[in-house]
Amino acid sequence: MTQQRIDALVSVLKDRCLFTGQQVTEILYSCPRVLQEDPSALEYKFQYAYFRMGIKQRDLVKTRYFQYSMTKIRQRHVFLERLGLYQTPDKKGQTQICNPSVNSVLRVPEAEFLAKTAHSSQEEFEVFKQLLAREGLEEGEGLSVSEDEESDLADTDGSDDDEDKGRNAEGAEGE
């Protein structure tokens, strides 16, 4: 990892995504996977959260949003959107429904996400993921699983380590 690459990532986070220096430090410390991302992909991930999901910088840092793959984020977010359980905020940041917290969407095992947040079955979600992948291929996005996303997908089997569970509980208290 070159200093030039690190500087480019920090520049994207500070200048394009408007994180403070302290927030950038916290992102790099809590989500080291960010160092492996392409700067444009990192900016896209931020823009998706900020504009599509309505999540502010402070909450992105607090929930460790950047540790998750775009595939997982998009699958869970769009699934909730299509179920009518998540709504993109308008220009004033308002929604007509109360969106679920980032923690309840991303920081929980897939089984808990389906039971408590989406109120759906595993089979429904699996079919949805296949359809979403097909949509992505048709649009030229290609949602294939990359190597760095494999660990993220393994997380969806419900196996969290004890340290993660402690952080999940702490994050839920702050909501």
Nearest to 99 by CA among 56, 41, 159, 152: 56
The sign one gets for the Cα dihedral 40, 45, 50, 56 is: negative
Find out whether 50 and 86 touch, Cβ atoms under 8 Å. no
User: For residue 140, what is the DSSP state?
Assistant: T
Query: CA–CA separation, 81 vs 10, rounded Å?
Result: 31
Q: Give the single-character DSSP code of 64.
A: T
pLDDT on residue 141: 56
CB proximity list for 23: less than 8 A, separation 6 or greater = 13, 57, 58, 61
Q: Which residues contact 114 (CB under 8 A, 6 or more apart)?
A: 120, 121, 122, 125
Distance CA 113, CA 24 (A): 28
Q: CA nearest 49: which of 118, 97, 99? A: 99
- Digit-by-digit pLDDT tens for the chain (175 residues) are 899 999 999 999 999 999 999 999 999 999 999 999 999 999 999 999 999 999 999 999 999 999 999 999 999 999 999 999 999 999 888 999 999 999 999 999 999 999 999 999 999 999 999 999 999 888 875 444 443 444 444 444 443 433 343 433 334 444 3
Please give the pLDDT value at position 115: 98
